[in-house]
Each structure stands twice: as C-alpha cells, then as structure tokens.
Amino acid sequence: MGSASVRPSRIQPLRVGAVAYDPKVVTIWEGFKTYFERQGVEMDFVLYSHYDAQVQAHLEAEVDVAWNSPLAWVKTQIETRGACRTLVMRDTDRDLTTKIIVRQSAEIATLADLRGKVVAVGASDSPQATLIPLSLLDEAGISPGQGCRVLYHDVMVGKHGDHVGGEREAAYALAAGKADAACVLDSNYLLFLNEGTLDPDTTRVLATTPPYDHCNFTARGDLPEERTQRFVTALLEMSFQDPLVRTLMEMEGLKRWLPGRTTGYEQLKRAVEKFRFYA
C-alpha cells in the first residue's frame, strides 16, 4: 500500500489593517492587493471604522500589520510598552508642519497674543490640527481651555484627522470671524488658499510647529521579521512609473514608500502625555 501524499502547508497571508476614512480606501486596498499578488506576496486586508478598533485588533493579533495614524502609533507604543516597530511610511509622511493662521488685520504678533482669544482646531483626536498645535501653545504659556478658548470641529472623530473636514471647518471659523486663529496642516493651508476657503490677502501665518511625521505601517514586536520582509520589499519597490499602481499611489498621497522611522513622533507623544489624552 502506497503512502498517502501530504500537501505542503500554505503560508498564512499577511493580514493588514487599515481605517476606512473615505470610500476610496476600498479601491486603494483592492488595487494594492492585486499589486502584492503580482509580487508574489500573500496578503489580505481588513478595514476598520476607526483607529481604536484597529489598534485593539492589532494588539489581539487579528491583524499582523496596521496602517496607523501617528496617534494610533503612539497608542500602540503605550499599550505594548514600546514593543512594536515601524516598517514603512510614505514620502509625504515625513517632516510635516502645522500652521497657526490669523487674520492679516489682527493685532496678533506672537503666540502670547492669543491669550484670551478663540483658537479653532480640527477634531479632538487630530494630531496635526489639534494635539500638536495646542501643545505648542501650551509651551508658549497659553494653556488650552484656560489661557485661550478652543473651538473644536469634531468631524469624523475616531479617524484621527485623516480627512480635511475638521480643518476646513476651522478655516471657515477664522474667515467668518468666529475664531481669532486656526490650526491647519501645511498642505491643507495651501489647499484652502487655492480653493478660496482662506484669502491670502486677509490671512497670514502666525506660527509654524517644528516638523513631525505622520502615518506608518506598524508591526507588533512579537511578529517575526520574516513575516513582513517580502511585504516591506514589495512596498519599497512600488514605482510611481508603474501605470498599474500610479493612480493608487496618487489616491494614497505618495510618490514612493520609505523605510519607517520613529524620530518624528516626539511632539505628539509629549502632547498625549501633557493632555492625558489616553488617561
């Protein structure tokens, strides 16, 4: 009697978590999955409605890798006591800044002049439009809620500011005279000027935060590097010149993927600790 043949065990696909902050996310990840298959990388993706759900799923090993906002990265660091690592980030995730905008005619020359004023921000969980600029104000001696009044625009809370809605509302508040200052991402400031939400002749930049980093692919510390190696290589080899992925990269807002780094999250970590955001 011949011995029964044994099928080789199939490698479990790498499960990647992402947050569906916009309908285009489905298109992006369906396209990325096709790209990875072309590269011989077995992967699948799971979409979550907000980052807290994704972080929890990542910690419970429901997904292997998470496409994290900077705040989700900081939370994962807190929950794992630093036992996590960044894999890859977009070229556009590095060295961002936030602009604090005021009206041209306002008698506001320094951050100290915002004492007693109304400062418009984005969603309460937005790193770029709320936590980081409010931390800058606090460092200048203007304690949010005490030294100045904060006007929040809680659009899609849970998405960590991965949309322009809250920041656009903050810009509207400044333009309408409902706020004395507005906090917006540097690229969104240019967008608001181009689309007419803000008038370059009637507004100006009061202050700019130091540079910081944004999203990254995060892996838990207990996930072997060999499980992510081919995924990382495929991302770094993704070319903007490839017509099959160029549109997807444009939708995701990048021209090339870069190795992950952790040096650009210190401002946000200080803000989370200062405001006891996760207390």
Least confident range of 140-154, 155-169, 222-236: 155-169
Pick the more confident residue, 2 or 203. Answer: 203
Q: What mean pLDDT is predicted for residues 205-222?
A: 98
Q: What span, in angstroms and rounded, lies between the C-alpha atoms of 30 and 33? A: 5
In a domain, 9, yes or no: no
In a domain, 7, yes or no: no
Q: How confident is the model at residue 140 (pLDDT cuts 50, 70, 90)?
A: very high
Do 115 and 204 fall within a single domain? yes
Please list, in sequence order, all residues whose beta carbon lies within 8 angstroms of the beta carbon of residue 35, skipping any fewer than 6 positions away.
234, 238, 244, 245, 248
Do 61 and 110 fall within a single domain? no
Structure tokens at 230: 């081919």
User: Per-residue pLDDT tens for 20-47?
Assistant: 999 999 999 999 999 999 999 999 999 9
Q: How confident is the model at residue 279 (pLDDT cuts 50, 70, 90)?
A: confident
Residue that terminates a domain, selected from 161, 181, 208: 208
Do 56 and 30 fall within a single domain? yes
Q: What is the pLDDT of residue 10?
A: 58
Residue that terminates a domain, selected from 153, 174, 208: 208
Give me the percent of the chain exceeding a pLDDT of 90. 93
Do 33 and 61 fall within a single domain? yes
Do 121 and 88 fall within a single domain? no
- Averaged pLDDT score across all residues of the chain: 95
Do 70 and 116 fall within a single domain? no
Q: Is the pLDDT of residue 201 over 90?
A: yes
Do 129 and 199 fall within a single domain? yes
The CATH number linked to 30 is 3.40.190.10
CB 203 within 8 A of CB 102: yes
Q: Is the pLDDT of residue 8 over 80?
A: no
Residue 70: which domain range? Answer: 14-93+214-274
User: Per-residue pLDDT tens for 246-262?
Assistant: 999 999 999 999 999 99
Stated pTM of the model: 0.93
Q: What is the pLDDT of residue 2?
A: 47
Q: What mean pLDDT is predicted for residues 87-108?
A: 97
Identify which of 187, 184, 132, 125 has the alpha carbon closest to the alpha carbon of residue 160.
Answer: 125
